[in-house]
Amino acid sequence: MGQSVKQVIGQVGRVYGPVIEALGVRDGMMLELVMVGDEYLVGEIIKLEGERAVIQVYEDTTGIAPLDPIYGSGMPLSVELGPGLIGNIYDGIQRPLVEIRKLSEHYIDRGIRVASLNRDTHWTFKPLLHEGDQVSGGVSIGTVRETERIEQKILVPPGTSGLLQSIASPGEYRVDEPIAQVETEEGITPLYLMHRWPIRHPRPITRRLPLEIPLITGQRVIDTLFPVARGGTVAIPGGFGTGKTMTQQAVAKWCDADIIVYIGCGERGNEMTDVLTAFPELVDPRTGKSLMERTVLIANTSNMPVSAREASIYTGATIAEYFRDQGFHVAIMADSTSRWAEALRELSGRMEEMPAEEGFPAYLPTRIAEFYERAGYVETEAGSIGSVSIIGAVSPPGGDFSEPVTQHTKRFVRCFWALDRGLANARHYPSISWLDSYSEYLLEISGWWEQNISIEWIKDRREIMDLLLREVKLQQVVKLVGPDALPDSQRFILDVCKLFKEAFLQQNAFDDIDRYSTIEKQVRMLHIIITYWRRGSTAIKRGVTLVKLKKLKVYQDILKMKFSVPNDDLSALSKIEGRLERSMDQLENIYV
Ligand SMILES: Nc1ncnc2c1ncn2[C@@H]1O[C@H](COP(=O)(O)OP(=O)(O)O)[C@@H](O)[C@H]1O
Ligand SMILES: [Mg+2]
């Protein structure tokens, strides 16, 4: 199944960096994968007008000259889908970086061809169907256990249907060995452990389902205040150094998705190296296995060609959809979509297209929308349930959210985790602003919370959000007249908000316990703080002073509970609750 070179379909006319004008083009098609020059540089036809084509090249085009041949492939730019994806590290057009580095003198030598899925590995295939069974796109004909936690279903490629004429017996197979034959209307079609899918075409589904189940991230400010649903979309906008990468990595590490597709898009090379070295060492708290056993990394650092960066988010989305079609819940992290938009802008500029806002092409919003539309909670073609959630970082220049990428992204996502420079400067991490962020999934997922976790959660959450809003107004008063002008009952609101921020919202990604919190822990921590607020307010009404309240020993326990109470043993929280109630009882008894 090698990517066969078809024939010469045209010649190079002019070279504009990563974009090439081709002349005398016959037999080419829009979005066709082509090879340019005698080094066979990988490219894609992105515009076709008569015999003139524009080709986006995914490798350095130095040395390409007019009249160099252009070879067609007869197929669109596609990715290989099958066993061998998990734990792999690819560039934007799915070249396996580790294997390429073994062959390359430089980072990636030009024209190097390495199959995306290893052709030597033998996988143990277990057939599920029999000769004579009727099959159609998306149906699983068997399984391959890829890692201890991921058993891949081997799917009939979308668009193929017919009678299963033969199917391999259980045994070891390579990805490109035929394992079944389907009698279709067009004739006999062999099936393999892998199949190809064009990256710019969303894989078909039966229907979209409502988004009612949260994607639990273990990050308290997210799960409790601005939750994302499985199959949902999120933007994380933030200026340089406000914590976009840290937040995405925290979610990638601790969220309860089955598969993570992490697209490192155009950021500095060393950030990707961090991901590459950190992930294999991290252990998944739920399975005790390496987190790489559920992760596919796509790395496009700023020193790689811009076209590959442009393609990387589609490559990532296609891989994610492939796992979704097997019934998995997948989360995509894209860091950063601004670097991707800049690649679009650069390519558009090279093609001398008419620029729109800030030099971005007029189709920027359409492209952003198309990317986020690949998220969803769906019924697959074969009738199982799977999801793709997309979490994209946005890095607006100067941290100014009014620029086009942030603004357009905001139109197409339903959850917004706005990073705040002031919080980051104050070392309040994650610096997700509780005033500028929002989640439109709250209502849809609240039923799930009530059924599975706690009926008090919604009330508690509403109460703390209300306090945070009241705090803003009170802070304005304090600025004018100083804190002493406020009555104790109002100053207590400031105290409780301060406690909530320190004890709950701030979460240290480097602390072994605090780096993630189960939702059970989050719900109970929130409830303790709300209890402190409710009982404290009553106490104040009865004449207890603020100073007395803050001197309670249990106040220190509450401050420290995020670090001191391990996720797998919440009994210490019951002790804190008990102590809190008793302390409040005592205070009130003194003042009755
Ligand atoms: N949750 C967190 N816990 C501890 N430190 C954090 C956290 N989030 C961000 N930081 C600090 O902020 C720095 C910058 O974060 P980073 O994610 O690289 O920013 P960005 O990607 O927005 O440029 C990190 O190196 C780290 O020191
Ligand atoms: Mg970053």
Q: Is the CB of 478 under 6 A from ligand 1?
A: no
Residue 370 in this model has a pLDDT that exceeds 70: yes
Mean pLDDT estimate for the chain: 92
Tens digit of each residue's pLDDT (9 = 90 or more) over 319-337: 999 999 999 999 999 998 9
Instruction: Spell out the domain ranges in the chain.
Output: 8-75, 121-193, 207-443, 456-591
Which pLDDT band, with edges at 50, 70 and 90, does 100 fall under?
A: confident
Ligand 1 atom 10, closest CA: 243
Mean pLDDT of 276-303: 80
Write the class of the CATH domain 207-443: alpha beta
Q: Is the CB of 396 under 6 A from ligand 1?
A: no
How far are the Cα atoms of 107, 135, 387, 467 from residue 79, in angstroms, in the given order?
21, 23, 20, 50
Domain 8-75 is found in CATH 2.40.30.20: yes
Instruction: Say what the alpha-carbon torsion angle 258, 134, 185, 5 is, to the nearest 10 degrees.
Output: 30
Q: Is the CB of 507 under 6 A from ligand 1?
A: yes
Give the pLDDT of residue 592: 56
What is the DSSP secondary structure assignment for residue 214, as one 8-state letter?
Answer: B
Which pLDDT band, with edges at 50, 70 and 90, does 430 fall under?
A: very high
CATH annotation of 121-193: 2.40.50.100
CA dist., res. 296 & res. 319, Å (int): 9
Residue 2 in this model has a pLDDT that exceeds 50: no
Query: Residue 25: CA atoms inside 13 Å, Cβ hemisphere, count?
Result: 25
Which pLDDT band, with edges at 50, 70 and 90, does 108 fall under?
A: low
Tens digit of each residue's pLDDT (9 = 90 or more) over 118-169: 999 999 999 999 999 999 999 999 999 999 889 999 999 999 999 999 999 9
Ligand 1 atom 11, closest CA: 243
| H-assigned helices in 129-243 | 220
> Ligand 2 centre from 243 Cα, in Å?
7
CATH annotation of 456-591: 1.10.1140.10
Q: Which two tokens stand for residue 490?
A: 């109002």
- Report the residue among 429, 501, 514 best suited for mutation to probe ligand 1: largest number of ligand atoms under 8 A from its CB: 429
Question: Which is the closest atom of ligand 1 to the Cα of 271?
Answer: 18
Mean pLDDT of 16-45: 91
Mean pLDDT of 530-543: 95
Composition of the chain by helix, strand, coil, percent to 5: 40, 25, 40
CA angle 53, 340, 114 (to 5 degrees): 70
Mean pLDDT of 224-245: 96
Q: Is the CB of 506 under 6 A from ligand 1?
A: no
Q: Is the CB of 508 under 6 A from ligand 1?
A: yes
Give the pLDDT of residue 485: 86
Q: Which two tokens stand for residue 278?
A: 């950190």
